[in-house]
Structure 1
Amino acid sequence: MPPSHNPDLADAPQNTMDALVQLSFLIQGLLTRVASDHDLSLIQIRLLGVLRDRRPGMLELARHLGLDKSSMTGLVTRAEKRGLVQRLPSPHDGRSVLVSLTPAGQRLTKRITAEVDQQITALTTSLTATEHTHIRALAAKLLHAAATSDAAQ
């Protein structure tokens, strides 16, 4: 059967761009579904993910999430009203604030992380141990290249 008639091959990525974009759509869809299950938006789940292991200032948080100052303020305010995050005065700069998870935010973030991990594990179950290692190494290399490129700009 020619590739154009094989449904499995018809949707196969034709090049690196297609592969990465299709994978991105798959992961974004997974994250969106998990977020929706917890009455969160994709950007809110990303906020919780960034705050898992750090207490950034608003500007750093905005850079991580690709948001402008007013959007960042609104996002943090909504999460604060849900009791998921809190603003703390910066010990280094009296004019700025740090954003951190509340205990409720930590619990929700752990639940969401476990759910996403479970779904990613199910998604990647057909990969061998070597393929898991390769995909992590390739992702790290791409993320490092992007960070280096961003730092140079």
Structure 2
Amino acid sequence: MTEPGPDEVMDHLVQVSFTVMALLSRAAAAHDLSLTQLRALAILRDRTPKMAELADYLGLDRSSVTGLIDRAVKRGLVRREASEDDGRAVRVGLTDQAHRLAGELGAEIATLLAPLTHDLSPAERNRLGVLLGRMLPPER
């Protein structure tokens, strides 16, 4: 097996990205969520950011995030709370219902993604995880 060239690496990365996004969209749709709503739930699993911080995480403008959160609040998935460190700011977090949903979605997504790495050895899967982690921007 020959080593892929830079163009082939980029092509494979894009193809895998599209495949993963399609699988994530399928999992989200099964729960009547958009891909953006799924991303928001994933971000909120382990933090309660201010609305502006959530907008930054999602790469969206604040008005779009406000609408996104309004819809999630109506569904009972997200709660708003006053920020303790800034009286003007609002923090958002998941409700218990949303934490349960996030757990279900995590299991479903793991099942959907498993075939992508099925043919890799444990060492290859570990190396892939390390390499993908190095490609991510530093956590804020």
Which blocks of at least 5 consecutive residues in structure 2 are unaligned? 1-5
Q: Give the whole-Å Cα distance in 1 for the aligned partners of 2:54 and 2:128.
A: 27
Q: Which amino acid aligns with 1:137?
A: V
**Quick one: which of 114, 118, 121 aligns to 2:107?**
114
Question: How many residues are matched?
Answer: 135
1:77 alignment counterpart: 70
Larger radius of gyration: 1
Q: Any idea what the Cα deviations from partners look like across 1:110-153, whole Å, max 9, x if unmatched?
A: 1001100122223311110111111111111111xx339xx8xx
- How do 1:33-112 residues align onto structure 2 when only pairs under 5 Å count? 33-112=26-105
Instruction: Return 5+ residue gaps in structure 1 as ranges.
Output: 1-12
Q: State the distance in 1 between where 2:84 and 2:40 align.
A: 22
Return the TM-score normalized by structure 1: 0.84
CA offset at residue 14 of structure 1? Answer: 5.4
Deviations 1:15-58, CA, capped at 9 Å, x for gaps: 12111110100000000000010011000000100001111111
- RMSD of the TM alignment (CA)? 1.6
Tell me which of the two structures has the higher relative contact order, counting C-alpha pairs closer than 8 angstroms and 6 or more residues apart.
2
Provide runs of 4+ in structure 1 moved above 3 Å: none
